Chain A
Amino acid sequence: MSMNFQPDQLQTMIVEAVDAVAPTSGIVGVAPVSCGAFIYDGFDFDFCQSLPGCAPAVASGIKRVRPKALVFTYQNGMDLAAAGISEVIHAANRGENISVIYADNGSCGLDCTEESRIKICELLSSLNNPVYITRVVATDKDNKAAIKSIKNAFKLQQENRGFSFVEILLVSSDDESKETKALMEELPSKVFVDKYGVEKA
């Protein structure tokens, strides 16, 4: 399976979404552990590293102190779906006013070597407090849907609506293998929770 992790591409998406919502009072991103920890090099706003899986808790702390700032976490499978699965669930359950961007490449566990696919969106949508949960596919050619979802999440945060979660399934556009198709069937792209109807607007 050729599932490329494309950090520069993800950065482009986040930057585009940030520019689109044009925050005026501070932007803070929270990075995961491992290679993703250095994602801040590609941004020109504040960034905070965090401990394994704890980005949602760190973001909660920042957001409580800086309620006007745009606070988001960027996490990968190892960080969000393994070490920090409880953090994201509790942040979602508290309805913390942050956005979580989950870059999923179909694996989790330390070093992303475990092929167990934990359906985080499905898990989180059973909670009462999240206002926006969606899963989108992004390829190196088409990332419009992903940008739109991130934008929606940021907008909701700016309106003080609460917890938003965007899972981005990263797929290479020339990948037509069976495994990838099976994965995309298993992890369907859809909007799980949309309390304020931002998807249609």
Chain B
Amino acid sequence: MPKRLMKGCEALAQAAILAGCRYYFGSPVAQQTELSAYLSKHLPLVGGTYVQAADEISAINMVYGAAAAGAKVMTSGSSTGMSLKQEGISGIAASELPCVIVNTMCGGSVAGASCPAQADYWQATRGGTHGDYRNIVFAPCSVQEMTDMTIAGFNYADRFRTPVLILADSIVSQMMEPVELPKLPLDYDIDSKKWALGLPGTNKHNKNVCASTFTVQDELEEHNWHLYQKYQVIAKHFTEEDKDLAIEEYMCDDAEIVLVGYGIIARLLKTVVEKCRKRGVKAGLARPKVLWPFPTQAFKKLAQNTEKFMVIEMSCGQLVEDVKMAVNGAKPVYFFGRTGGAVPSDFEIFNEVSKLVCLD
């Protein structure tokens, strides 16, 4: 199949359609306007439904309903919208409903600014709101990954009955790159989920209930442990079966310093690694592609061979905590970050790295 030049968020939208998503609820927001625009044009062509919800809370609850009814469904938002959606996402996670949620991060709190940032790492990987739950979080770094991870996201969402978050930033969402769209069978049967609500027939005496509220303490505890066990299974899956999907390692075999970053930052880091290697500094790159479950084992292994880690982020330091936890004090973990919409340049990062290397 020939490659097509596409914007990140448009490729994501097309991938969603290919994955069988026929329902989108959301509204065009800066940094991913094209996603909504694309779906509003293309979903009706394949018999899908696009609803521009009045607000984000409305949108996530429509997703809740559509997912409960058995559809493959998606919504998207930029940071602010994601915060509004959190309560709904907690409900979706607790009710064990599959859906894909796209977050194109922007800088700052509250309204923030339409600029690239990675300040939502904690929100994304720690569940996001009250309740003991987690979401699978993918962090694409290229337009091709926007496509692949969306398709994978829909599959994992259905497989584990859990929301999947695509944590992109405005650069990946807005940039154009050639992308290869896979050909997938379009035979998703909306009645295939036996737990779904409103299945054809009179469904009397065979009712499905989609609930996450329990008044009896024992029931609630049982439910929470059930969720926890599911998350353990997911974590195991990403450390054992889908290892390659969880992390990308670049020139790490003999690296003395391993640079760590996700999303667009990892692309910059690749350039930095090349620069370092040219100047005789043995640098490598570890890029977590799945942020939750975090590839802890992979980092443990890296810690055995390398001397130090340096985490680079477009935030004041969020991913760095997960890396520190994974490395568990075995090797020092340094941090360099820019925030508020500033993207560090490869020169800037290189300077920081050389400072570290010269210290010894």
Contact = CB atoms under 8 A, between A and B. Distances in A.
Interface in B34-78: 49, 51, 53-55, 57-59, 61-71, 73
B202 interface: yes
B334 to A, nearest CB: 42
Given A27-B203, A28-B198, A46-B197, A58 B65 contact: yes
A99 to B, nearest CB: 14
B64 A58 contact: yes
A27 B202 CA distance: 7
Given A61-B69, A66-B198, A48 B209 contact: yes
B5 interface: no
A48 B201 contact: no
Contacts of A43: 207
Nearest to B90: A51
Contact of A66 (B62, B91, B197, B209): B197
B127 to A, nearest CB: 16
B53 A64 contact: no
Contacts of B25: 61
B213 interface: yes
A65 B66 contact: yes
Given A57-B53, A61-B61, A49 B69 contact: no
Interface in B204-249: 204-205, 207-213, 215
A7 B202 CA distance: 24
B154 interface: no
B66 A61 contact: yes
Interface residues on B, range: 35 or more
Interface string A33-48: 1000110100111111
B61 A50 contact: yes
Given A40-B211, A49-B210, A49-B211, A61 B200 contact: no
A123 to B, nearest CB: 15
A23 B61 contact: no
A69 B190 CA distance: 14
Interface in B171-187: none
Contacts of A54: 57-58, 61, 64, 88
A65 B198 contact: yes
15 contacts: A37-B211, A44-B204, A44-B207, A47-B209, A48-B211, A49-B210, A51-B61, A54-B61, A57-B64, A58-B64, A61-B25, A62-B197, A65-B66, A86-B55, A86-B58
Interface of B: 23, 25, 49, 51, 53-55, 57-59, 61-71, 73, 87-88, 91, 95, 190, 197-205, 207-213, 215
Given A60-B51, A87-B58, 17 more contacts: A24-B202, A25-B200, A26-B197, A26-B198, A26-B200, A40-B211, A44-B204, A45-B204, A46-B208, A47-B207, A49-B212, A51-B87, A58-B64, A60-B65, A61-B25, A64-B65, A90-B53
